[in-house]
Each structure stands twice: as structure tokens, then as C-alpha cells.
Structure 1
Amino acid sequence: MDNPNDVKELIPEFFYFPEFLENQNGFDLGRLQISKERVNDVILPKWAKSPEDFIYKHRKALESEYVSAHLHEWIDLIFGYKQRGPAAVEALNVFYYCTYEGAVDLDAITDEKERKALEGMISNFGQTPCQLLKEPHPMRLSLEELEKRRTRLDSCPLNIFEHLTELKSFFIEGISDNVPLVKAVVPKNQSHSFISQGSPDTLVTLSQNCLMGTHGWLPYNKNISNYFTFIKDPTVAGVKTQRCLAGPFSPGVEVTARLFVVSHDGKLLFSGGHWDNSLRVTSLVKGKTVGQHIHHMDIVTCLATDHFGIHLISGSRDTTCMVWQVLQQGGAPVGLSHKPVQVLYGHTDEVVSVSISTELDMAVSGSRDGTVIIHTVRRGQYMRSLRPPCDSSLPVSIMRLAVSWERHLVVHTCIEGKATLKDKNALHLYSVNGKHLCSAPLKEQVTDMCVSGEHVVIGSEQGFLSVRDLYSLALCVSPMAMRVSIRCVSVTKEQSHVLVGLDDGKLIVVGVGKPAEMRSGQITRKLWGSSKRLTQISSGETEYHTQEQP
């Protein structure tokens, strides 16, 4: 490291792949020459508790404010004006001449030995990238400057995970009064045409009695006084206009959030739990069934889709999982493939939870047999089985699963038959390669769970909404008490709000409390096809008084 002629650069694995620091295969790597100590795992610095902690801190350092403030200097050295010439000499950024682009024309060299010698030099020393810039690169905006610029924009929703101590809750009634709200979600990849930019997104709700609603949703905008804008679907109020999911459900099936998935554009609803073992596709616009797929031998118990709506996975009482391709037309989902692209086996009991990530090529399933099984999506190849740790001799069910963008697997387990809540429920965290990282006991009975960024959001039967850190599974703030049981939770695509469906039919919207100065200066804005002020058609903004868990 002290040799000025030896240029070292960290490989990408230093920022995402902790497994390369461990000798997991037990290879004989020899012994040290002096101490004769056997070479095994990489010896980590004292500030790193584990390979995972080492990689996490490396990535945080790479994404830190300090690195951002000096990023332009690195660009100047590698691609910019300090790559060549006097500026490069002054910056001590000069390399062997053969490494520079265009320095040597190998095709013009007729002497075979000379040409091979130069090729060897280039191969040994490497090559300097093409020079792209002749002027100094501008400095990146600081976080403070970015926040100031964002406040000047028309739309400025705040990230709830950056302001967890400033959350406020609001309630919306009239969607499914006194009927549990089992699904409330803003699909993440809704597209708008050029002329409809700025128009509301679709917020989909589903009640336990199968009543469907497609509402208008806009996060906080500084030009209006609301924390958010919710435009209630008028069809949910009228008996003649209501759109309902065709039933009935199979006797004994508990209607929960995991039975339903909304397509990424908010136009289709995929549902399981039906009496004929079918996986159904329903148009949310027309309220009619547009597809019915019967391939499972028993009831479909759980569904999940990947982030971009490319694949859908279904789990069943028949112990199998099936991966389906979501058919697209003009970039919009129109249904499912006529038959599953993969059928996944391995469980010995009912599959009750599934998750899928096409990007990571992972199809994950959890069963009442206490195992988590991971297959590949593209080939359906079995990868590994996981059995979360448990001290009890009673059977353990894998009730919920979630694969994060950070390449972690979060598992919720519940001990069946245990009368008390003490140690009945637990969360477990695994790496993408199946290494158990940590576990955390839960005091409540979990009813729904989702992962957003570096946080896990959980709703419970006891009515508590909690946010936990993805890496440690520790509580970030005290849980919020919603008074009645929570049936579903989801995070909006901007990470600006948490949507919570309650047992009494209320929709709770949790967002960041805005300072008074940010809520002044209400301006009239027009929705497409409407001249009303947004605040006049909003059904939100009624504060729901919660309390912290004692």
C-alpha cells in the first residue's frame, strides 16, 4: 500500500457481497509464513462486527455526504481535465504512456516482437478510460442545498422514514363502514400520459365483503393545505354502482391481504381463496372477472408479485407454488399466462406465504411445516431451505415473507397452538444467500407486513403500527396505537405515507407533520376535467388521535 507505483482499487464486492470475506467452502488456503497460522476468513477491522456489518458500513461510506461533496474531484481525475496534461502532473495523476487512449497505434507497428512487448505492457498496466471532460466537473449539491431546492418545487412529499418522530395520522371513513378493510395500496408503477402528468394516482381498496374501490391519491403538495389529497371513489357509496369481487370464497378461508395482489398500473386485481381453487383476475375498472386459472389442486392461500409486475407467484394448500407471467399489452398488464411458467415443490404442508423478486431471480415460499424454500424464478431450480430458529417444541408456521431491495429476506414466524403471546411471534432476517443474520421477538400478533427501503412496517391484531430497522429488526420509534385491529399496511411509492386498513373499515393515512410555514399560501389548482379546488374534494385531513404503546 506504500508503493506509489502500485495502484489499488476496491472491487465492487466490497460494497454489496459480504460472502467473499468468508471461506465458507473450507478451502485449504495455506498458512502464514512467520506465525504458521492457518489462512481462513478475512480478518476484519475492529469497527466491523461481522462481514455484513463491514459491507454495510462500506456502502454507507460510499453513499455518505463527504463522498458526495468530493465526487467531482474523482471524476476530474478519472474522466476529466486532470487525466492528462499539466493538471494531471500537478495532481500526481500520471501513468505509463502506453495506458492512455491513442498513445500507441498497434496496427502501425510492423515488428512482431515490439508489438507483443507493447501489448504485454498495456495488459500489465491496464488502460486509462477515455477522457470525457476538458473542464472541471461541477460539485454535487449538498443535502442541505437539495432540501432547499426541493422545497421550491411544486410537489414536495417528505419521506416518512427520515421523519419518524414527526408522524401524524388521519382517518378516512365511508369506504367500507364497519367492514374490515383488507387491502389498501397505491400501485408503485402507474404510468401517466404527457397530458395527464400531475393527475392523481389510483389508490385501490378492498373490503372483507369484496367491495372494490379505486380512489384518487396525491401526496402532499406545498401549494395546497393538505398533507395529502384523497378523492373517494363515488361508486362505493351507491348500492347500484358498487363493484364487488365475484365470489364466493371457500368455506373456512380467512380473507386477508395476502389473498390479493393489485397490478402495477392499478387496473387489475389478482385474487385467491376461491371455492373452485382458481386464481382469478378481475378488472378494477369494470368490476368483472376477466380471467380464471385453475391449476392448483386445492385452495390458493397467498399471492405476491414482483416490483415491476413481471411475475406473480401463488401458494396453495396443495403444498405447491406456481410462478405466472403477467401478460402485457402496450406496457400495461392484461392478464396471466394460460399456464404457470414454473411449478415449485418441496413443502410438506400448506403454503401460507410467498414473495418473489424477478430482479434477484428468487421465488420464496413459507409453509405451516416451518420451512422457507427458495427457488429460482427463471428455471424453477431449487436453491435452499431455511428453518428459522425456535426454542418451542410446538409447530411453527411461516406466516409472512418479504424480499427487500437491499437483498435481504424478512421472515415472520408464529408458533401454532400457543395460548399466550409471549414469544409466540418473531421476525428473522436472512441474507440473499440464506445466512441467518438476526432475530427479534414480537409482543403482538402480526396481521400484515411490508418492507420499504431499509425499514420493515408491521401491523398487528392488537392495533399497533410499528416501524423496524431492516438490518437489526429493532424498533425505530415507539409503535403507534390505532385503537382497533390492523388488517393491512402498505407504503406509498414516494415513501411519503403509510396506508393502514382497520377492522372497523377506516383507512388511516400516516404521514409527516408539516411545519406551519410550509402549509401557507393555498393556491387553486385544476385537476384534469375539474375546476374544483383540490382541498374541496379531499376526504382526508381529519386527524386520527393515536397513542404510543406503553
Structure 2
Amino acid sequence: MGNTQLLPLTHLDILMLLPCTLVYTWFESEYVSAHLHEWIDLIFGYKQRGPAAVEALNVFYYCTYEGAVDLDALTDEKERKALEGMINNFGQTPCQLLKEPHPQRLSAEEVVQRLTKSDTSTLNLFQHLTELKSFFIEGISDGVPIVKAVVPRSQSRSFISQGSPEILVTASLNCIIGTHGWLPYDKNISNYFTFIRDTTVTNPKTQRSVSGPFAPGLEITSKLFAVSHDAKLLFSGGHWDNSIRVTSLTKGKLIGQHIRHMDIVTCLAIDYCGIHLISGSRDTTCMIWHIIHQGGVPVGLAPKPLQILYGHTDEVSSVGISTELDMAVSGSRDGTVIVRTIRKGQYVRTLRPPCESSLLLTVPNLAVSWEGHIVVHTSIEGKTTLKDKNALHLYSVNGKYLGSETLKEEVSDMCVTGEYIVMGSLQGFLSIRDLYSLSLTISPLAMRLPIHCISVTKEYSHILVGLEDGKLIIVGVGKPAEMRSGQLSRKLWGSSKRLSQISSGETEYNTQDSK
């Protein structure tokens, strides 16, 4: 029995089809998602052979199936050539991978519902924006601003103990480094999160710090620091000798010093993969560095930059990078944003955010989304009032201008997470905006003091905010109704303390009154 609607695939067809499948999984319609398993059953699954294949009209000539003919065993040359010609003309069916029906793909709503019901899943704060609560942690950097606070995205965790904490890295204005224990809320405990303070940050004898002084007069911001995804290395710029320095977070010692820029390094950024680091400098150039890995673990930077990127006429003030999209993006005090490729360092385009003022327009911050949207924060230098001084602009991955929004505050730090833009301001407001419309999703949270850094945890469960007075503010979702109030204790790796004794997720921070 033949099937004229579905021809067998050759190996070349399969190789050509797989990349398309990978690409279109991001953009496929709900109908395709709902029926994708049926195609898998026909091509790779239980409907490829046997009674199920007959019933589905999915039967082909026997020679097209894997293992049906052993060409090497044929002694008759004519028969061998005939079979080879048949295979070359009609193709071969793929390997049968499944003997049972493939499950149907879950819809986005079903995935969210399943995660919500899971006892071990964290709550996505972007799905509960009206239920956010803020908590503060003191004793990390009392009186000294926290300029970097981040939970790196790909730390190795022990499968033996589900409760083993990850590392939350902090860096303060006086260059003190902290590596704290961090566990997000997971419904099995009553606290919103678990935070185990690094005791070395308050002990002068055990403190770890970024080596070497910063350049005189340089403003120390979160853009000068980047942390490897395994929480083992801290990269820093802004040093007096124009270097990028690599510090071991476990030992607190300098392990690398790279001097390639001709002036002070002003900004750093790491890609989502942890493969490349990009640096911007007062010398108007950007450099792309390859992060060296040994056994899958980052150990430092390559001695020479992979690319040196030119094009700006003033110092580079912000950078972003996406290895997946082969994009390196830089913003400058000259008011332009330049996009280049990573692999070849080729110029792609220049973006010029709109501005009606004749004063100098600068680009203090920018961010690149996973899909390649470019969010640009511009500021007009010389303007004394906040009115119309700061603005947010959005561009597509292809450089198409999509819109702008005037800001009422001065942005100090910014990141893009999923379909949201999270911003902190010097006026002390934490704002969450929709990526595509640039509009506020909720009223800004008043942190009462200037914000020096913000970041979102990899589970989208919390926002980390570093304040001028040294407090670390942790914003997350309030206690859900289904919380298990009776399960208050769980052992941490190497610790038998109850979580309520070591967690700081109990002291709420008032975000209603602005200072």
C-alpha cells in the first residue's frame, strides 16, 4: 500500500529539516503545537511501521526502511546497483525512535498551571505583579552603597540535597565582595526566600576585595562589574591602568589582568551563554573577549580580544552582547548605538535615538533581550530639570525603531527579562515596564533611597535591589494561599538549622513612602 501524500525522507531531507524545526519551535502557531506529536508519530514513532502504519496510510516499499537491506552482504553487482538507485531516487525512512505514541505538547497556559501546582517550583513574579512584597537585608555593606548584586544563572547544585543553596554575589562601593547563600521560595517553607549572609564581609581580617584602585574621579556603577555564570569569577573595569581584572570569588584573589584598551574601561557585559565578555572604554572602542573554560568551568579571559570594534566618536558608556544572535551592541556619549557582529566584528548599523533638544544626547544604559530587541536609555546632558531629560527607546532585532517613552526619573541600572524591562533610578524608584509598549505594568515601588543596581534571579522569582545605604532589597511575590504552613523546616547542605533562623525573608520593607 502506498501513500502519495507523504514521501519517505532521505538523510539529506532530515538534516535540512532539523534546523527549520529548531527555528520554528519559537514561532509555531498553537495549532501546530497541538498536532506536532502526530507528525512525530508518523515520521519517527509508532505509526512508522506495523498495523498502525497501515491504518495511517503510512506504508512504503520495504527497501526504504532502516535495516531492511544489507548492501554490503549483496554479491550480485546488478542487484546492488538497482537497490542503491532505488534508495537514491526514493529515499529512506528515518530511524524509528519511538514505539509508543508521543505525548501532546502542552500549551503555554498548561505549562504555567503545571508549574503553579508543583511543590518545588518558584513563583514567577511577572505573573503576580499585583502581589509583590519587598524585604530588606542589612549587615552586608552598612552605610556603603551596593553596586552589584546578582545570582549567576548556571551554578552547579547538588542533586543529593535539594535544599543546597546557590551563591548570591554582592560588591560594594568600597570594593568588598560577598558570596552569600541563596534559596528562592519553593512553597515547602513559610519564608519568602532563604538568605545566608557571608560573614567575611564584616570582618576586616577575612574580607575579600577587588584588587587595585579605580581611576580617580570615576563613578563606580554596576556596569563596571560582571560575574561568570558559575559564580566563580568576577570581572571588573574602571581601573587606573585601563585593565580588565579577573578576581576569584572563592579565594578573593586577582588571577588575571588584561590591558588592551588605551583608556579607562567604562562598562562590561557577559552574554547569556557565558562564552563572551564585551568591554567598552573611554578610548571609544569596544572589545569582545573569549572566556576560557577548562572542563566546562570558566577560568579567565583569553590573552587577546577576539574583536576590536570601532565607530564611536566619544567614550562608550554602555554595552550588551548576544552570542546566540551574533550581536554586539554599544552606546556612547556621542548619542549613537552601534550594532556589530561578534564572529567577524562586522559593522551592521547605527541607531540614532530621536531627540528634539540641541543639547548633547548620551546613552547611559542599554539592554538586549533574548529575541534581540534593543532597549536604549538616553539622557540629555546639561539639562538641569528632570522633565524630558531621560527617555526610553525600543528597536527591533533588525534595527527598526518601535517607539519611545519619556521618563520622570534618572535610570541608574536596567535589565530586560523575558517580556519586561526592570529599571532602578537615582530617585529611588523600581519600575517594571512592558517590553513592547514601554508602558508601566504596575506603579513604581518607592525604595526611598537612590538605587545603585538591580538584577532579576534566573527563576524570575525575585528582583535584587542595591541601595545607597548598603541595604539589599529583595522583591518577590507575597505568600500564596496554597502555602504549606506546617512545613517550616528543611535541612540545608551542611546545616541543620531551621530556615526561619537563618532566613532574612521576614523583614518587610516599606515601599509606599518616598523620601
TM-score over 0.5 for the pair: yes
Which has the higher mean CA deviation after the structures are superposed, 314-323 or 429-438?
429-438
- Decide whether the 8 Å contact of 2:368 with 2:374 is kept in 1: yes
What is the rounded CA distance, in whole Å, between the counterparts of 2:286 and 2:374 in structure 1? 18
Does the C-alpha gap of structure 1 residues 120 and 175 become closer, same or farther in structure 2, counting only changes over 3 Å?
Answer: closer
Q: Could you tell me which residue of structure 1 aligns to residue 251 of structure 2?
A: 286
Shift of 1:151: 5.8
Q: Could you tell me which residue of structure 2 aligns to residue 341 of structure 1?
A: 306
Instruction: Please list the CA deviations of residues 342-396 of structure 1 after superposition, one character each: whole Å capped at 9, or x if unmatched.
Output: 2211111111111122222222211111111222222322222222222222221
Does the C-alpha gap of structure 1 residues 78 and 209 become closer, same or farther in structure 2, counting only changes over 3 Å?
Answer: same
Q: 1:71-470 to 2 correspondence within 5 Å?
A: 71-83=36-48, 87=52, 94=58, 101=65, 110=78, 122=90, 129-140=94-105, 150=115, 153=118, 155-195=120-160, 198-470=163-435
* 1:517 equivalent in alignment to 2:482: yes
Q: Which residue identity lines up with residue 437 of structure 2 in the other structure? A: S
* 1:479 equivalent in alignment to 2:444: yes
Shift of 1:218: 0.4
Shift of 1:215: 0.6
Does the C-alpha gap of structure 1 residues 525 and 366 become closer, same or farther in structure 2, counting only changes over 3 Å?
Answer: same
Structure 2, unmatched stretches of 5+, are 8-16
Which has the higher mean CA deviation after the structures are superposed, 475-484 or 210-219?
475-484
What is the rounded CA distance, in whole Å, between the counterparts of 2:251 and 2:88 in structure 1? 68
What is the rounded CA distance, in whole Å, between the counterparts of 1:331 and 1:12 in structure 2? 26
Q: Secondary structure at the match of 1:255?
A: coil
Q: Which residue identity lines up with residue 332 of structure 1 in the other structure? A: V
Shift of 1:283: 2.2
Does the C-alpha gap of structure 1 residues 14 and 528 become closer, same or farther in structure 2, counting only changes over 3 Å?
Answer: closer
- Decide whether the 8 Å contact of 1:406 with 1:454 is kept in 2: no
What is the rounded CA distance, in whole Å, between the counterparts of 1:526 and 1:201 in structure 2? 14
Instruction: Please list the CA deviations of residues 476-529 of structure 1 after superposition, one character each: whole Å capped at 9, or x if unmatched.
Output: 222222222211110111111111111222111111112243141224322222
What is the rounded CA distance, in whole Å, between the counterparts of 2:334 and 2:126 in structure 1? 35
Structure 1, unmatched stretches of 5+, are 18-54
- Decide whether the 8 Å contact of 1:370 with 1:396 is kept in 2: yes
* 1:534 equivalent in alignment to 2:482: no
RMSD of aligned Cα (Å): 3.4
- Decide whether the 8 Å contact of 2:456 with 2:464 is kept in 1: yes
Shift of 1:197: 5.5
Shift of 1:12: 9.6
Instruction: Please list the CA deviations of residues 326-349 of structure 1 after superposition, one character each: whole Å capped at 9, or x if unmatched.
Output: 222332222222232222111111
Q: Could you tell me which residue of structure 2 aligns to residue 46 of structure 1?
A: none
What is the rounded CA distance, in whole Å, between the counterparts of 1:368 and 1:16 in structure 2? 39
Does the C-alpha gap of structure 1 residues 109 and 167 become closer, same or farther in structure 2, counting only changes over 3 Å?
Answer: farther
Q: Secondary structure at the match of 1:547?
A: coil
Does the C-alpha gap of structure 1 residues 471 and 151 become closer, same or farther in structure 2, counting only changes over 3 Å?
Answer: closer
Does the C-alpha gap of structure 1 residues 116 and 201 become closer, same or farther in structure 2, counting only changes over 3 Å?
Answer: closer
Q: Secondary structure at the match of 1:518?
A: coil
Q: State the TM-score, normalizing by the size of structure 1.
A: 0.81
Instruction: Please list the CA deviations of residues 27-85 of structure 1 after superposition, one character each: whole Å capped at 9, or x if unmatched.
Output: xxxxxxxxxxxxxxxxxxxxxxxxxxxx9xx95663x4x65554433433443344566
Q: Secondary structure at the match of 1:76?
A: helix
Q: State the TM-score, normalizing by the size of structure 2.
A: 0.86
Q: Secondary structure at the match of 1:165?
A: helix
- Decide whether the 8 Å contact of 1:325 with 1:341 is kept in 2: yes
Q: Could you tell me which residue of structure 1 aligns to residue 11 of structure 2?
A: none
Q: Secondary structure at the match of 2:38?
A: helix
Shift of 1:13: 10
Shift of 1:150: 4.3
- Decide whether the 8 Å contact of 1:445 with 1:461 is kept in 2: yes
Q: Secondary structure at the match of 2:330?
A: strand
Q: Secondary structure at the match of 1:363?
A: strand
Q: Which residue identity lines up with residue 240 of structure 1 in the other structure? A: K
Which has the higher mean CA deviation after the structures are superposed, 201-210 or 332-341?
332-341
What is the rounded CA distance, in whole Å, between the counterparts of 2:284 and 2:169 in structure 1? 30
Shift of 1:318: 0.9
Does the C-alpha gap of structure 1 residues 67 and 158 become closer, same or farther in structure 2, counting only changes over 3 Å?
Answer: farther
Count of aligned pairs:
500
- Decide whether the 8 Å contact of 2:488 with 2:500 is kept in 1: no
Does the C-alpha gap of structure 1 residues 110 and 381 become closer, same or farther in structure 2, counting only changes over 3 Å?
Answer: same
- Decide whether the 8 Å contact of 2:238 with 2:266 is kept in 1: yes
What is the rounded CA distance, in whole Å, between the counterparts of 1:155 and 1:106 in structure 2? 51
What is the rounded CA distance, in whole Å, between the counterparts of 1:85 and 1:113 in structure 2? 28
What is the rounded CA distance, in whole Å, between the counterparts of 1:109 and 1:94 in structure 2? 31
Shift of 1:146: 5.2
Shift of 1:264: 1.6
Q: Which residue identity lines up with residue 172 of structure 1 in the other structure? A: I
Q: Which residue identity lines up with residue 460 of structure 2 in the other structure? A: Q
- Decide whether the 8 Å contact of 2:448 with 2:513 is kept in 1: no
- Decide whether the 8 Å contact of 2:64 with 2:87 is kept in 1: no
- Decide whether the 8 Å contact of 2:246 with 2:255 is kept in 1: yes
Q: Secondary structure at the match of 1:236?
A: helix
Does the C-alpha gap of structure 1 residues 536 and 475 become closer, same or farther in structure 2, counting only changes over 3 Å?
Answer: same
Which has the higher mean CA deviation after the structures are superposed, 387-396 or 448-457?
387-396
